[in-house]
Every structure is written in C-alpha cells, then in structure tokens.
C-alpha cells in the first residue's frame, strides 16, 4: 500500500478525529447545564446577536432548517430560547434568548475556560490550528459552492 494513502496520513481522518474529540470535550464541559455541543453553538451565535431569524441563524451555523429546527425545539423545551413567529409574517421564525440563557452565559463561558485551562492547551498552537483550519474551510467552501 502507498504510504500516503494510509489512514493515519489522511488529513480528513485527522480532522474527523479532532472534531469527534472536541465534541466529546464540550459534552463533558456542558453536561452540568444539560446542553449538547450543537446546542452550545446555537447559544454562542445568539449571545453574539440575539433575536435572529431561523434563516440567519442557519447561515451562521451552516445548518439547514431541517437540522436546526429540532435543535431549537429542544432548546426551547429546556427553557434556553424562544421561537417566535412575527404577526406580520407567519413564514418567518425569530429565535430569542430567554433570561435563563442570558443568566447562564458567563457561567458557561467560565466552565469552558476552566476546562481548556485544565487541559493545558498551548494558546499559540491553538491559534495557529484555528487559522489553518479556517483557511481550509474557506477553500473547501469555494470548491463546493
């Protein structure tokens, strides 16, 4: 077998493993709040800009409404967000943070920060990896669009 084609030499496999492990890492950190990693990403987006449309939120998270809607329903049932249909346009759906979400923002950030600190991530390596990953994402989006 060609050495380049080995599983451990594949960037896609390395990215897959990193994604899987990051998800597991965040699941452990978010467990006290009853949140999944995907739900945390929704909250992150809303903490940056509250009261977004479903479409806008989907664009930011790069998720289709078919994927996002069940996530939002579970977040709403748990008291983290409100899904509101404006009276003037029933085709729209606005997503807004609840007081629970606003009140827990700092605690969640602190929990994530504590977990990152505890794991002793090298900040410079983290920033370099993020830059390279973002460049790859841009290149892949350009190819696939």
CA-wise closest residue to 34 among 72, 69, 78: 78
pLDDT tens column, 22-75: 899 999 999 999 999 999 999 999 999 999 999 999 999 999 989 999 999 999
Q: Is the pLDDT of residue 12 over 80?
A: yes
How are beta strands 81-84 and 52-53 bridged, if at all? unpaired
Mean pLDDT of the chain: 91
CA–CA separation, 108 and 87 (whole Å): 33
Beta strands in 18-73 (DSSP E): 52-53
Q: Can you give the pLDDT at residue 121?
A: 76
Tokens describing residue 119: 């794991």
pLDDT tens column, 57-69: 999 999 998 999 9
- Residue boundaries of the structural domains of the chain: 25-120
CA–CA separation, 92 and 86 (whole Å): 7
Q: Can you give the pLDDT at residue 1?
A: 67
Q: Can you give the pLDDT at residue 35?
A: 97
Topology, domain 25-120? Arc Repressor Mutant, subunit A (1.10.10)
Highest mean pLDDT among 84-88, 119-123, 126-130, 139-143: 139-143
Q: Can you give the pLDDT at residue 34?
A: 96
């Amino acid at each position: 077998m060609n050495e380049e084609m080995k599983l451990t030499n594949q960037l896609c496999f390395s990215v897959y493993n990193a994604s899987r492990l990051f998800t597991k890492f965040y699941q452990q950190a978010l467990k006290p709040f009853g949140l999944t990693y995907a739900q945390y990403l929704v909250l992150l987006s809303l903490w940056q800009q509250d009261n977004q449309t479903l479409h806008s939120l989907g664009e930011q998270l790069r998720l289709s409404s078919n994927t996002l809607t069940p996530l939002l329903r579970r977040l709403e049932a748990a008291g983290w967000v409100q899904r509101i249909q404006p009276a003037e346009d029933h085709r729209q759906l606005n997503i807004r943070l609840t007081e629970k979400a606003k009140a827990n923002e700092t605690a969640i950030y602190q929990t994530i920060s504590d977990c990152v600190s505890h794991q002793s991530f090298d900040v410079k390596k983290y920033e370099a990896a993020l830059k390279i990953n973002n460049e790859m994402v841009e290149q892949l989006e350009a190819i696939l669009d």
